[in-house]
Structure 1
Amino acid sequence: MKKIMIMVAILAIATTKLTFAQSKTDAAFNQLLTAYYDVKNALAADKLAQAAENVKVLSAKVDAVPHKELPGAQHTLWMEQAKVIKAKAAELAIAKDIKAQRKSFETISSAMIKTIRNIKFNNATVYLQHCPMAKASWLNEKEAVENPYYGSMMFACGDVTETIKAK
């Protein structure tokens, strides 16, 4: 009977630790997603300087993800995507025009889309949207299209192509 109780206690502690670690990781990924939305919103509003500032926060949020707690395949995927996000964030931050920023954002978006599809962390519904003119997709916190690739020129251009429900 003692052995059973000890085993149950060990299992309970291990499960709690795993859940806590996962929730910490999920929280960090959700902060990253919020920072991503801030960059997307600045680009959709044609705000070059704001996008450059917001992408610095995004880059810091990439570094803040406690990735070591991710299982093998997810960890490998995250390390690859984090490298892409950081590189393109650095490009976006120093870009002299919004067109160059949007090109960098396109790659950041692709990396974020791969991440959210493979590491189910979102605590709210995420809308995957696509602009046929830009031939590019992005994530949005709202169902209404807000195009970061054309901004005010074609603010509502695009469609919701996928709805990613909250975890």
Structure 2
Amino acid sequence: MKTVRTTTAILAVVLITFTAVSCKNNKKEQIKKEENHSKMKHDNSDGHHDGEKKEMTMNGNEKGNSEAILTAYFNLKDALVSDDEAKAKELGASLEKKLENLDISKYTDAQKLELKDIIKDAKEHAEHISKSPIAHQREHFKVLSKDMIDIVAITGTSNKLYEQYCPMYDKGSAWLSMNEEVRNPYYGSKMLKCGKVQREIN
């Protein structure tokens, strides 16, 4: 009971302090705090994720564009996990546009050449996904995933990613995920958990 009272007292002091500080700051500072607070709420891990999100925001277009591509890719992967052909078509078209807009100006000449080739190939597969039935979407997603792994090797990422692998689909197929838990995009509900984590990235 004593512990509960002590914890409540500490929380009350923290709340009063936070309110006092907030009142002194201008609107800009308050917006910043609200953003940081919402990020903390969203992340229930160890706070490291928050730092990564801030870094992602601060690094400008180059990082933002590569992260936008990854987000579109993960959304597409989730649609295939859910066996949602229509959503995968829509997200394939969205990914194609984001690949087109990747700013490669800050990379070395060798990296630019490599990225141009990878992006060209990835765009073709994203386009096919936007126009194909789900079985063909998954075939193209396999090669698209290889392209995404190659892009990440050059651009890096602000978040921890997991390269996962299904030994059964087309003699073995990899994909990227934000979550360690396996959710198979090649089989969806038929074999949702088929696969393993091959390696962690970042």
Shorter-chain TM-score tier: 0.7 to 0.9
Which one-letter code corresponds to 1:129 in the other structure? Q
Does the 8 Å CA contact 1:29/1:65 hold for their aligned counterparts? yes
List structure 1 runs of 4+ shifted beyond 4 angstroms: none
> Which residue is 2:126 aligned to?
89
Query: How far is 1:27 from its partner?
Result: 1.1
In structure 2, C-alpha distance between the alignment counterparts of 1:94 and 1:119, rounded to whole Å? 28
> Which residue is 2:163 aligned to?
128
Does the 8 Å CA contact 1:62/1:82 hold for their aligned counterparts? yes
Stretches of structure 2 lacking an aligned partner (at least 5 in a row): 1-58
> Which residue is 1:155 aligned to?
192
Stretches of structure 1 lacking an aligned partner (at least 5 in a row): 1-21
Does the 8 Å CA contact 2:66/2:155 hold for their aligned counterparts? no
The counterpart of 1:46, out of the listed 83, 87, 109, is: 83
The counterpart of 2:101, out of the listed 47, 59, 64, is: 64
Which one-letter code corresponds to 1:136 in the other structure? S
Name the % identity: 32
Which one-letter code corresponds to 1:126 in the other structure? L
Is the partner of 2:176 in helix, strand or coil? strand
In structure 2, C-alpha distance between the alignment counterparts of 1:152 and 1:100, rounded to whole Å? 17
Is the partner of 1:145 in helix, strand or coil? coil
In structure 1, C-alpha distance between the alignment counterparts of 2:65 and 2:131, rounded to whole Å? 25
Is the partner of 1:104 in helix, strand or coil? helix
> Which residue is 1:119 aligned to?
155
Spell out, residue by residue over 1:22-41, the C-alpha distance to the aligned partner (whole angstroms, 9 max, x if none). Answer: 64211100010000001000
Does the 8 Å CA contact 1:74/1:119 hold for their aligned counterparts? no
> Which residue is 1:98 aligned to?
134
In structure 1, C-alpha distance between the alignment counterparts of 2:177 and 2:97, rounded to whole Å? 20
Aligned CA-pair RMSD: 1.4
Which one-letter code corresponds to 1:106 in the other structure? K
> Which residue is 2:175 aligned to?
138
Query: How far is 1:128 from its partner?
Result: 0.3
Is the partner of 2:180 in helix, strand or coil? coil
What is the number of residues matched between the two proteins?
Answer: 143
In structure 1, C-alpha distance between the alignment counterparts of 2:155 and 2:74, rounded to whole Å? 18
Spell out, residue by residue over 1:69-95, the C-alpha distance to the aligned partner (whole angstroms, 9 max, x if none). Answer: 211121111101100111111111111
Alignment TM-score, normalising by the size of structure 1: 0.82
In structure 1, C-alpha distance between the alignment counterparts of 2:125 and 2:62, rounded to whole Å? 23
In structure 1, C-alpha distance between the alignment counterparts of 2:200 and 2:174, rounded to whole Å? 13
> Which residue is 2:70 aligned to?
33
In structure 2, C-alpha distance between the alignment counterparts of 1:130 and 1:72, rounded to whole Å? 32
In structure 1, C-alpha distance between the alignment counterparts of 2:128 and 2:201, rounded to whole Å? 28
Which one-letter code corresponds to 2:143 in the other structure? T
> Which residue is 2:143 aligned to?
107
